[in-house]
Structure 1
Amino acid sequence: MTRNWVLVLFVAMFALYCGVGLYLAVDVHLYFGDALSRVQSAQSVLFSRSPHLAAIGFVFTPLTAIVQLPLTALTPWIPQMTTDAVSAVIMSSAFMAGSVIQVSGVARDRGLDPVVATLATACYALNPMIVLYGANGMSEAPYLFCLAWAARRLIRWVDTDDVHELAVAGIALALSYLTRYDGGAAALASTIGVAWVSFFRADRTKRVSRTFLDAVLVAAPSGVAFIAWAFTGWLITGNAFAQFSSEYGNAAIIEQSGGSGSNGAGEALRFSMTELAILAPLLPLLAVLVLVVRARHRRLYAVLVPLAMIGAVLAFQVYTYARGSTFGFLRFYMTVILLAALVSLLAVPARRQSPYRRQGPRTTLVAHWTGGPIRRYVFSGTIAVMVMLVSLPTTAFGMTSPKYAPQEFALSSVVWPRPDSVSQRHLDERRIVRSFSTERTLARYLDSLDLPDGSVLTDTVYGFAVVVQSRRPKQFVIPSDSDFVEVLNDPKAAGVQYMLAVPASGRGLSDALNQRYPTLYENGAQIAVRVLDVRNQGADLPDWRVYRVTGSRSG
């Protein structure tokens, strides 16, 4: 495949994912909360009352929001970049298309038959979960790209011992950590895997030094990313690990939401295994087959590296869910789709040596297929494609399950509209699809009032969806503003005209307005009068009350 064809593939995949994403965001107005939240973070950096880079926040990793900043900067000319989360759609589409390029790159590096390479790549690219998360602006797309990039480079390093591959893999793993915290598990496992390979294939006289240097090349970028991000968070907020200790962090969200849904380690393990079976049902059988065949030919290293790297990510998710430290969302397991693609491609005999810039002293010459029994090549290629092909219907079917795909099953009402249905399931699906539509209506109402800057006080626990869908974000006073606490303590003196209140229950307990004025939602806390009740049409979202500020209250 020439570079022109690689570009064509990227453009085609980007167009597919972006087209689906624009339909969902601009026409259906279907948003995933985390994607909308990242857009609001990028918006705050550029267009809040006090624009500054720290407004991007330190609870979640920054890469997803940072990448969107150039697109968010176009908001004055293209308001839909933020109000319809188009910046997120473009971001995830580009990264997911990039992950497809990396997967196809593994096939290109090994010189696989074009039919096998095309079919395996297509099965990955068209997997329903890949299409959805390439389109919806979530962090899964950049995360999969970084892991695919790192895996491809590590596979090449195993064959060529090219130090450049280790350096690039290290950078990719560091970026994966800055995309999602479980990228740290991938970096740690990759470092151990590289150290293992280096130790057992190095000369005895230089074994320790070579192992150490190779491990440092892979681990150093992630170590720098970890320290820099933690130190920056501590320097600005006084909290190095806000994700775990902040009232806005994941642990607090789980506690406020009534738990992760995990009822004991045994049930959690069964649930996780079911999630993995939905996404890649034949992977365990293929992995065992590949390991046995490669062990016979002493060619295990190339498949052990991606198995260790992505396996660590999956093991981390299974473990944290069993402990009740995270939710059992299907998307948290979707790295297994990438792993299945990589193992499938590695199951097919290579037809050429992997490319390299400079071969190292421990180069492994691949015993590539040179025209032996054609049946063996056809058989392995067929098995590889079938493993990927079978996952398409199982994933599509699994995504319709409210239990195993709580964030995705509502898409059924988008793909197969049933406007006359009155079944409870269909009504639940439509309610999920309408999530954040109430916040959109509230944002338009506030925009219509033509208020001056700093007139509406709100926290972004839930209020992010109002702020991001407003065309006048400077009218809001939000926690990232430098004077937020001062304004919160005396809204009247600061010129605040309205306060947005949510119930002081669930995640609403962490809302700064509720913490400062515990009875605000019920009665205005003696500083405001209710002017509007807004019943929420979305799922698992609070009813809003808009209060007009009337005075100040001491204490």
Structure 2
Amino acid sequence: MTTRRTHLAVFVLAAACYLAFGAYLALDQQFYSGDALSRVQAAQAALVSRDPHLSAIGFVFTPLTAIAEIPLVALSPLWPAFTTHAMSAVVMSALFMAGSVMQLAGIVTDRGLSWRIGALVVGAYALNPMIVFYGANGMSEAPYLFCLVWAVRRLIRWVDTDDVHDLVTAGIALALSYLTRYDGGAAGFAAMIFVAVISFRRASSSPVETVTRRRRAVVDAAVVALPTAVAFTVWASTSWLITGDLFAQFTSEYGNAAIISQLGGSGSDTATTALEFSATCMAIMAPLLVLLVPGVAVVRRRRLRAVAVSLAVFGAVLAFQVFAYSRGTTFGFLRFYITVIPLSAVLAALAAPMRRDMPYRRLGANAELPDLTPSPGGWRRLIPVAAAAALVVGVGTTWVGMASPKYAPQEFALRAVIGADPDSTDKLLLDARRVARSFSTERELAHYLDSLNLPDGAVVCDTVYGFAVIVQSQRPRQFVIPSDADFARILNAPAAHRVQYILAVPNEGRGTSDAVNVRFPTMYENGAQIAALVLEARNQGADQPDWRLYRVVS
């Protein structure tokens, strides 16, 4: 089988597995992640809302995840589950996560590793429970990991071949990682510094002046950094032109900073506590990383550049997350440290000796292709096996760690849908079931509103919490939402614009930023003297508000 066919087979197999598991969670168990539903609703607003336009995807989060879902959301009239059950998000994450597996397989085949070691490394990565879960649940982790592994693969090739094609591709991948999650900017910055240093140092072997070496370093660094710089500039300036906020994630009432403030903090009481939490999260997913890094460094001591680029790119993302959590600007979620898994996988692949020339399109002037080495004998032949085994150990520890509500508050509910005793009264399992029921109340609200056969623009609803109602409705045009150009005008005078209902949440916590509560602070309590209570829904999910539906009377 050719290398290309091998990669395709790996991709198809991984995508099928992730898609099947995602369909089970979404269609059978109605188990959803809030961010996944939110991105689907953003894509839905851009296509099938009352006022469809591309900027309706919003500027709080970077756009790639929602944009990738738009083609499938466009098919929701043919199969409503693409939106009502977030299957567009499931397909998106399954394909991207399978792509990350394929890129890791590419690193293995680029180096000509034995199929046994390669299969163990790729299989342990692909079957890690966090990789499986985030390949199936429609979150942004899947495209993010794809972009990072793609970039690292190309940079590993570049350090040997000096092929500008690899450098350009790595730059594009890093730009896309930034457009998936903001911390991709840290990876892009680290890659720029790494490329500049490597270009300057290896040019020293050529008979050129220091000024020329500096110019080469600057040019190479610019090649890899320019796509990210363009993505950063275009995204920020577009946000400023449309919303007035350069970085809505930090300044908008819907952004992460506002959410943390509304919820009373990130959960990191002190920097020491935050560092301990971060270290534990990484140890859960890669318990032997502290041994893997020095072990691979010893094996590759004569050619550390490939190891260094992996540590630079993935390490920058992890360092950013540790710093952000220690500063109280992000939450303590296990998924924020998920990049430790591909880091471990790439290092395990680098532990094995290289048995083929690195592929390239055109060798650069400073190419330094390594000498091929035969398979080591004696105890050294066990090093690649031990490195791959470290990944297998991580599969087990990750599964155990994902059952912890402290370290894995967004993942531990999986125990409620996989192999759980339905008659158990264990408190932890009951808590997990409540998390698993998140957005079930919103689904029933959506069904109720759909049953009323309301006209377009009949229900005013903000998307702070309301995204989960809107996206699970088969009639999204019945809602007036903040991305509609006339939202403020209609909210100011609902009756005059023939609004029939208003969905309200308590004016506390995140609910204080809900536009309905901002305009009518007592809406949830008493209808603000313009509406009468029709329905009250106690929420069955975790960390979700109770709902009240009011009928506009004046």
For Structure 1 versus Structure 2, the TM-score category normalised by the shorter chain is over 0.9
Residues 3, 109 of structure 2: 8 Å contact kept: no
Supply the distance in 1 between the matched residues of 2:299 and 2:85 (Cα, whole angstroms). Answer: 50
Corresponding residue for residue 88 of structure 1 = 89
Corresponding residue for residue 318 of structure 1 = 322
Pairing 1:526–2:532 present: no
Counterpart pick for 1:307 among 281, 304, 311: 311
Task: Please report how far the alpha carbon of residue 293 of structure 1 lies from its aligned counterpart in structure 2 after TM superposition.
Answer: 3.4
Supply the distance in 1 between the matched residues of 2:440 and 2:241 (Cα, whole angstroms). Answer: 37
Supply the distance in 2 between the matched residues of 1:136 and 1:397 (Cα, whole angstroms). Answer: 19
Task: Please report how far the alpha carbon of residue 377 of structure 1 lies from its aligned counterpart in structure 2 after TM superposition.
Answer: 5.5
Any idea what SS the aligned residue of 1:13 has? helix
Judge which range, 418-427 or 205-214, deviates more: 418-427
Pairing 1:210–2:216 present: yes
Supply the distance in 1 between the matched residues of 2:277 and 2:63 (Cα, whole angstroms). Answer: 30
List aligned pairs for 1:112-511, cutoff 5 A.
112-202=113-203, 203=206, 204-205=208-209, 206-295=212-301, 297=302, 299-371=303-375, 373-375=376-378, 378-511=381-514
Residues 352, 366 of structure 1: 8 Å contact kept: no
Any idea what SS the aligned residue of 1:415 has? coil
Task: Please report how far the alpha carbon of residue 9 of structure 1 lies from its aligned counterpart in structure 2 after TM superposition.
Answer: 1.2
Q: Where do 5+ consecutive residues of structure 2 fail to align? A: none
Supply the distance in 2 between the matched residues of 1:4 and 1:152 (Cα, whole angstroms). Answer: 18
What does the per-residue CA deviation read over 1:426-475, in whole Å, with 9 as the maximum and x for residues that have no partner? 21111100000000000000000000000000000000000000000000
Residues 88, 138 of structure 1: 8 Å contact kept: yes
Corresponding residue for residue 538 of structure 1 = 541
Residues 435, 541 of structure 1: 8 Å contact kept: yes
Judge which range, 362-371 or 394-403, deviates more: 362-371
Residues 353, 374 of structure 2: 8 Å contact kept: no
Task: Please report how far the alpha carbon of residue 378 of structure 1 lies from its aligned counterpart in structure 2 after TM superposition.
Answer: 2.5
Judge which range, 444-453 or 281-290, deviates more: 281-290
Task: Please report how far the alpha carbon of residue 364 of structure 1 lies from its aligned counterpart in structure 2 after TM superposition.
Answer: 1.3
Pairing 1:22–2:15 present: no
Any idea what SS the aligned residue of 1:232 has? helix
Corresponding residue for residue 53 of structure 1 = 54
Any idea what SS the aligned residue of 1:530 has? strand
Residues 92, 139 of structure 1: 8 Å contact kept: yes
Q: TM-score, normalised by structure 1?
A: 0.98
Corresponding residue for residue 517 of structure 2 = 514
Any idea what SS the aligned residue of 2:542 has? coil
Supply the distance in 2 between the matched residues of 1:342 and 1:4 (Cα, whole angstroms). Answer: 21
Runs of 4+ in 1 over 6 A off after TM superposition: none
Any idea what SS the aligned residue of 2:532 has? strand
Supply the distance in 1 between the matched residues of 2:380 and 2:481 (Cα, whole angstroms). Answer: 61
Task: Please report how far the alpha carbon of residue 285 of structure 1 lies from its aligned counterpart in structure 2 after TM superposition.
Answer: 1.0
Supply the distance in 1 between the matched residues of 2:338 and 2:89 (Cα, whole angstroms). Answer: 19
Report the residue type matching 2:363 in the other structure: Q
Report the residue type matching 1:490 in the other structure: A
Report the residue type matching 2:527 in the other structure: G
Report the residue type matching 2:29 in the other structure: V
Corresponding residue for residue 36 of structure 1 = 37
Report the residue type matching 1:199 in the other structure: F
Residues 499, 546 of structure 1: 8 Å contact kept: yes
Corresponding residue for residue 101 of structure 1 = 102
Task: Please report how far the alpha carbon of residue 348 of structure 1 lies from its aligned counterpart in structure 2 after TM superposition.
Answer: 0.9
Task: Please report how far the alpha carbon of residue 376 of structure 1 lies from its aligned counterpart in structure 2 after TM superposition.
Answer: 5.3
Task: Please report how far the alpha carbon of residue 549 of structure 1 lies from its aligned counterpart in structure 2 after TM superposition.
Answer: 0.2
Report the residue type matching 1:228 in the other structure: V
Supply the distance in 2 between the matched residues of 1:144 and 1:407 (Cα, whole angstroms). Answer: 18
Give the superposed CA RMSD.
0.9
Supply the distance in 2 between the matched residues of 1:257 and 1:18 (Cα, whole angstroms). Answer: 34
Supply the distance in 1 between the matched residues of 2:95 and 2:463 (Cα, whole angstroms). Answer: 28
What does the per-residue CA deviation read over 1:107-136, in whole Å, with 9 as the maximum and x for residues that have no partner? 100000110001110000000000000000
Corresponding residue for residue 73 of structure 1 = 74
Supply the distance in 2 between the matched residues of 1:82 and 1:340 (Cα, whole angstroms). Answer: 35
Any idea what SS the aligned residue of 1:406 has? coil
Counterpart pick for 2:553 among 545, 550, 553: 550
Any idea what SS the aligned residue of 1:138 has? coil
Aligned length: 548
Q: TM-score, normalised by structure 2?
A: 0.98
Supply the distance in 2 between the matched residues of 1:501 and 1:224 (Cα, whole angstroms). Answer: 40
Any idea what SS the aligned residue of 1:54 has? helix
Pairing 1:6–2:7 present: yes
Supply the distance in 2 between the matched residues of 1:495 and 1:331 (Cα, whole angstroms). Answer: 44
Task: Please report how far the alpha carbon of residue 366 of structure 1 lies from its aligned counterpart in structure 2 after TM superposition.
Answer: 1.1
Judge which range, 323-332 or 373-382, deviates more: 373-382
Task: Please report how far the alpha carbon of residue 375 of structure 1 lies from its aligned counterpart in structure 2 after TM superposition.
Answer: 3.1
Any idea what SS the aligned residue of 1:548 has? strand
Task: Please report how far the alpha carbon of residue 258 of structure 1 lies from its aligned counterpart in structure 2 after TM superposition.
Answer: 1.4
Supply the distance in 2 between the matched residues of 1:286 and 1:55 (Cα, whole angstroms). Answer: 45
Residues 156, 309 of structure 2: 8 Å contact kept: yes
What does the per-residue CA deviation read over 1:120-155, in whole Å, with 9 as the maximum and x for residues that have no partner? 100000000000000000000000000000000000
Task: Please report how far the alpha carbon of residue 370 of structure 1 lies from its aligned counterpart in structure 2 after TM superposition.
Answer: 2.6
